[in-house]
């Protein structure tokens, strides 16, 4: 293999898969690099014809990952007719999938790119949730897809992280009688905010357990029932001012509450990830 030899890497998407496979194979031939010419995002027969002509004139190989059926068929047929070696890098594994799982491939290009975009969207959402947890950096309220408000121990943080894993940017804000809520809470569309409430007895139970885990006395004001009633009353007043929907999380799992939030926001017309 010499440096003048070419491989045309052809794809109806980016062509990263074909590129990596060609390089992996080329590395087995004395470690010499093959000269790769990328032809990405092919969309019609003319693109294929041009590649075949170039490969024929340069005595080159075509390595391709094309899932659009009529383009693949055209490339296979025309390359055989003119004597150009064309290798379908996906077909062997695709055929095994068809036989094993008894399903037909979608034939839709760029799906890997969509998966990558989905992954990075989730990572970004998780970073956002961490940065804007528990009222930190209140400037994120206007940037959030969902804003959760409620008193301490109403599952705001775990809900934020759970929703972030679904790709939503979530900020959560604690409501405390001694601290005025951020002005932005009253300025964002009310259908992007959700209030979380809980029964006094359940909250008392959760807070007492929390204090025990921290090695603190359960007599602290944090778990005092009178204080809890004061906080819940204050929180509900703020939620009513905002005009946001309210969910009672007393006996709900995180997943159940999250499903309710998404269903509620979808019904109200808030942007929603399928």
Annotated binding site: 150-157
Token pair 């025990």 is found at 212
Report yes or no: 55 and 62 within 8 Å, Cβ to Cβ: yes
| Pairing label, strands 6-11, 61-65 | parallel
Q: Which helix (H) or strand (E) holds 95?
A: helix 91-101
DSSP string, 158-219: HHHHHHHTTT--EEEEE-BTTBPPPGGGGTS-GGGEEEEE--HHHHHHHHHHHHHHTT--TT
Q: Which residues carry a binding-site annotation for ADP?
A: 150-157
Distance, CA of 166 to CA of 91 (rounded, Å): 32
Report yes or no: 173 and 184 within 8 Å, Cβ to Cβ: no
- HSE value, Cβ hemisphere, 13 Å, CA-based, for 138: 14
Distance, CA of 81 to CA of 75 (rounded, Å): 10
């Amino acid at each position: 293999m010499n440096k003048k030899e070419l491989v045309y890497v052809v794809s109806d998407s980016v062509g990263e898969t074909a590129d990596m496979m060609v390089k992996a194979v080329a590395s087995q031939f004395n470690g010499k690099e093959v000269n790769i010419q990328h032809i990405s995002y092919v969309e019609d027969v003319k693109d294929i014809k041009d590649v075949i002509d170039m490969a024929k004139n340069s005595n080159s190989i075509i390595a391709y990952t094309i899932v659009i059926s009529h383009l693949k068929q055209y490339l296979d047929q025309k390359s055989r007719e003119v004597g150009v070696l064309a290798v379908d890098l996906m077909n062997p594994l695709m055929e095994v999938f068809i036989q094993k799982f008894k399903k037909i491939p979608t034939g839709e290009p760029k799906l890997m790119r969509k998966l990558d975009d989905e992954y990075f969207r989730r990572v970004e959402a998780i970073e956002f949730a961490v940065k804007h947890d528990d009222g930190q950096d209140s400037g994120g309220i206007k940037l959030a897809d969902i804003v959760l408000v409620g008193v301490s121990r109403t599952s705001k943080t775990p809900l934020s992280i759970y929703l972030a894993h679904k790709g939503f940017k979530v900020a959560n804000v604690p409501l405390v009688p001694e601290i005025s809520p951020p002005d932005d809470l009253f300025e964002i569309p009310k259908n992007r905010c959700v209030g979380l409430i809980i029964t006094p007895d359940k909250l008392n139970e959760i807070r007492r357990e929390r204090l025990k885990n921290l090695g603190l006395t359960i007599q602290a004001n944090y778990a005092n029932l009178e204080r809890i009633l004061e906080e819940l009353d204050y929180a509900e007043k703020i939620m009513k001012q905002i005009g946001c929907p309210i969910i009672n999380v007393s006996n709900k799992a995180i997943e159940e509450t999250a499903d309710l939030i998404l269903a509620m926001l979808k019904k109200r017309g808030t942007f929603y990830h399928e």
